[in-house]
Chain A
Amino acid sequence: MQIPVVRNILEANARVSDDLKTLFAQKGILALNLMSSPGAGKTTLLERTLTDLASEFSMAVIEGDLQTDNDAQRVAATGAQAVQINTEGGCHLTSAQVLAACKELSLDGLDILFIENVGNLVCPAEFDVGEDHKITLLSVTEGDDKPEKYPLMFNISSALVLNKTDLLPYVDFSLERASNFARGLNADIRIFPVSCRAREGLDAWYDWLRAARAAKKR
C-alpha cells in the first residue's frame, strides 16, 4: 500500500528551532546565525564586535566547531559569555545542539546571541537554529563568484559581510561582482565590506546590529 505522507524531512529540527524562537522572543534576545567557509573570519568579526560594542550590549556566543574549543576561548577573552559545541564531524549546527548550549548560558538580560556555525557554505543553510537573521561572511581571498556557486546560503541571509578588504589590492576579487551576484539571489541583502584586521568598515555593520536589536524589543 502507498501512503501519502508529505512531511518535511527536517521537521524535527524545525520544531526545536521554533521553540528557540519563542524562547528568544520571550527574553527579548536578538539571535544571529553566522555562517561562512572556514577561515573567512567569523571569529575575528566576533572578537571585534564583542569588544567594540561591549558597553552597549550584553552579548553571548555559541561556537560550533568540529573539534577544539579554541574559538570559544578567543571570544571568551573579550569578556563575553561563550559556549563551545563540538559537532565531532557534523558539518553544521542543529537546533537541538543550540538548545543544549543555551542551557549553559545565562540568558536573562542578554541583548544579542551570536551563533557561530561550523565553517561550511552548504549544509548550515538547511538547518534553522532559532535565529532572527542569518548572516553570511565571505572573505575576498575566496573568489567573488561564491554567491553564484553556493546560492542557497546567500539567498536566505539578511546580511553579507565581505571581510579582508585590506587584501583587495593583492587578489582578483571584485566587490561589485560579488555584491551583484549576492543581490541577484536576494534583492534585500545588506552588504558590508569590512576589514576586521585593519578595523575598517565595521561602523556600518554595527549600525545594522543596533537597528536589528532595536527592532526586537524586550
Chain B
Amino acid sequence: MHELSIAQSLLAIIREEMQKHGSPRLISVKVRHGRLSAIVPDALAMSFEALTMDTALAGARLDTEEIPLVLACRACGTKFSPESSDYVFAPCPACGEELGHTVVSGKELYIEYLELDEAQGT
C-alpha cells in the first residue's frame, strides 16, 4: 500500500499550490504515472478519498493516466514500446536484441495540473 503515502505527498503539494494561487476549492487533479512505478489507480483513488473525506478537499476528482514504457535498445539505440506486459525480454523491433535496454520513460510519478476554483475576491 505505498499508494497511501503517495496520496499524502500528493495532498501536501496540492495544499501548497492552492495556497500559492489563493484558491479555496480543488475541482480536480491530474496525476501521470509510469508503467514501472506500480501505481494501482484504484488504490490511489481510495487513499485520496480517505484522506480528503471531511476536509476542504472532499469531493475533488482524481484523474490518473498511465505513461507507457519506452525502452532504448542496448545494441542499436532504437526507442520502442514493448507490446506485451512481458518486457523483461523485449526484442528490439529494429535489431532483435532482447536484453539490457535502458528505460526512457515509465518510471514517472507526477502531478500534471490542478483544476482550481477561481480565487475569491480577485
Q: State the A residues within 8 Å of B (CB).
A: 1-13, 90-92, 94, 122-123, 125-127, 147-148, 151-152, 155, 180-181, 183-187
- Pairwise interchain contact B116-A3, C-beta atoms closer than 8 A: yes
Q: A-B pairs with CB below 8 Å: how many?
A: 94
Residue in chain B with minimal CB distance to A90: B5
Q: Is the CB of B13 within 8 A of A126?
A: no
- Of chain A, the residue at the smallest CB distance from B39 is A126
Is the Cβ of B114 less than 8 Å from the Cβ of A3?
yes
Residue pair A7, B13 in contact (C-beta under 8 Å): yes
Known: A2-B114, A123-B1. 7 other contacts (CB 8 A): A1-B117, A3-B113, A5-B13, A11-B9, A126-B109, A184-B89, A184-B98
Residues of A within 8 A of B88 (CB): 147-148, 151, 181, 184-185
Q: Which residues of chain A come closer than 8 Å to B17, judged between CB atoms?
A: 3, 5, 7
A4-B37 CB under 8 A given contacts A12-B12, A92-B2, A187-B100: no
How many of B's residues come within 8 Å of A, CB to CB?
A: 36
The answer to whether B107 has its CB under 8 Å from any CB of chain A is: yes
Chain B residue with Cβ nearest A152: B36
Contact status A2-B13, CB under 8 Å: no
The interface residues of chain B lying within 8 Å CB-to-CB of A127 are 2, 5
State in angstroms the CA–CA spacing of A11 and B8 once bound together: 12
CB < 8 Å neighbour of A186 from B13, B100, B111, B114: B100
A2 touches B103 (CB 8 A): no
Known A123-B2, A151-B88; judge A6-B110 contact (CB<8 A). Answer: yes
In the complex the two chains form, is B2's CB within 8 Å of A8's CB? no
With A1-B118, A91-B1, A148-B86 in contact, is A8–B109 under 8 Å at CB? yes
Given contacts A152-B107, A155-B36, A183-B100, contact A6 B112 (CB under 8 A): yes
Contacts of A152 in B (CB 8 A): 36-38, 107
Across the two chains, which residue of chain A brings its CB closest to B109? Answer: A9
Q: Does B58 contact A (CB under 8 A)?
A: no
Given the complex of chains A and B, what is the CA–CA distance between A155 and B36 in angstroms? Answer: 10
